Amino acid sequence: MEADILITDTLLLPDPGNSTLIPSGCVAVHGEKIIYAGPMEHYNDRQAKRILDGRGMLTMPGLVNLHGHAPMTLFRGLADDLELADWLSNHIFPAETDHVNPEMVYWCSTLAAAEMILSGTTTTADGYFLETEVAHAFADAGLRAVVAQGIIDFPAPGVPDPKDNIEKAASFLDAWQGKNPLIKPALFAHSPYTCANTTLQKAKQLARRYNVQLYIHVAETEHEISMIQKPLGRTPIQHLQALGILDADTVCVHCVWADGRDMEILAGQGSPVVLCPQSNLKLVSGMADLPLMLAKGVRVGLGTDGCASNNSLDMFREMDVSAKVQKLHKLDPVAVPAKTILAMATTDGASISGFPGHAGVLAAGRPADIILLDVQQPHLAPFYTPDLLVYAASGADVRTVIINGRPVLEQGRLLSININKTLDRVRTMAIAVQ
């Protein structure tokens, strides 16, 4: 079978979880799938519609950013260095009330898609409001994305009366289910302290009816623990368990304050966790005990969170911080090795995202979500092990990105997004925010 794209003579990292580098590898893509990934000497058919010279490049699966709020790129750097409650109540919620509309959501999500593609993210999971515009932006950008419509018991963009939040979410699922193979609709319940018990249960019922994932911020701050645990006598995660919310399709974001018992519940229910350590650091929410989570058998992925609380969507930065902060948190330099973090940001993240075919490994039959990094640079030399991807590489090293067999970035140039038009639109909107 003739390949559509053949990446030749590349330093190949097919499975980031096991660290084996193939010095002279090649990857062949036909349609949306990989048909070969391995040593070049074992691939005989050198004909292809397009050949990408992989010399000086490292080729690996694309990164998976499992938690974000893409439209919030408009609020990047708007209100830094504040406490979470002050940041949300006095800055972010008022800015959202005044400035979030469908046009804003489309262009700011396009900006987020550009930033993610440029820094090697091929799959993301988003949760916000007016998500139909996020879905359009990501579909136009060619990004693989779980797009989750927000549910909260407060007036929100596109849902002025919270009584309509479940109905609006259902229409979103109706509109996007099965529409585009790269866009997987889902639900995003904001948190156990902003959604009533009945809202959480209705959201989960809806998710089950449509067979989609439910994402939720949970156990993010000590304040949340006191708000729920004091009156109810159970932790936020035990609260979700008691409400019947937890199963393998409920993705729990943050879990900073999850204790050992909580982690056993999450592992028992198969509920994945997404950690966003940079956001937790910046808002001083605390730090999740990742080694304990992994020891308890919890599936864990990584996310950047919205870039108002990070302020970057670069998963290379997130990986670096994730590995180092766990060492400090546990006062143990071997607490979480780089390869575990790399697997969380690729293979494990792809599995949690739930797309068919599992894109987190480069192997025959897998979806062709591939990134190429320029490793001929001083900060990446010498290149002994893939640990360098966690501790020294950055999103700026990414040169080429292929998603589902389609090149969306080539030699550092975005192919699916008009970046000048996007920057222009977002900067114009930002003038009104200041």
Write out the residues near Zn ion by the rule CB under 5 A. 305
Sorted by sequence, the CB contacts under 8 Å of residue 196 that are 6+ apart come out as: 153
Query: Least CB distance from residue 188 to Zn ion, whole Å?
Result: 9
Using the minimum distance from each CB to Zn ion, give the nearer residue, 305 or 348: 305
Query: What is the DSSP track for 142-205?
Result: T-EEEEEEEE-SS-BTTBSSGGGHHHHHHHHHHHHTTTBTTEEEEEEE--TTTS-HHHHHHHHH
> What gap in Å lies between CA 30 and CA 32, rounded to an integer?
6
**What kind and span of H or E run contains 34?**
strand 33-39
Give the residue at shortest CB distance from Zn ion. Answer: 305
Sorted by sequence, the CB contacts under 8 Å of residue 201 that are 6+ apart come out as: 243, 244, 245
Query: Least CB distance from residue 274 to Zn ion, whole Å?
Result: 9
Query: Least CB distance from residue 280 to Zn ion, whole Å?
Result: 10
Query: Least CB distance from residue 370 to Zn ion, whole Å?
Result: 28
Query: Least CB distance from residue 288 to Zn ion, whole Å?
Result: 14
Residue 19 contacts residue 366 (beta carbons within 8 Å): no
Measured in degrees and rounded to the nearest 5, phi and psi for residue 121 equal -85, 130
> What gap in Å lies between CA 328 and CA 207, rounded to an integer?
38
Using the minimum distance from each CB to Zn ion, give the nearer residue, 68 or 120: 68
Using the minimum distance from each CB to Zn ion, give the nearer residue, 133 or 305: 305
Query: Least CB distance from residue 313 to Zn ion, whole Å?
Result: 12
> What gap in Å lies between CA 377 and CA 386, rounded to an integer?
15
- Candidates 300, 313, 311, 340; CA nearest to 324 is 340
Using the minimum distance from each CB to Zn ion, give the nearer residue, 67 or 239: 67
Using the minimum distance from each CB to Zn ion, give the nearer residue, 4 or 131: 131
Using the minimum distance from each CB to Zn ion, give the nearer residue, 191 or 347: 191
Query: Least CB distance from residue 173 to Zn ion, whole Å?
Result: 20
Three-state SS at 384: coil
Using the minimum distance from each CB to Zn ion, give the nearer residue, 305 or 397: 305
Three-state SS at 17: coil
Residue 285 contacts residue 278 (beta carbons within 8 Å): no
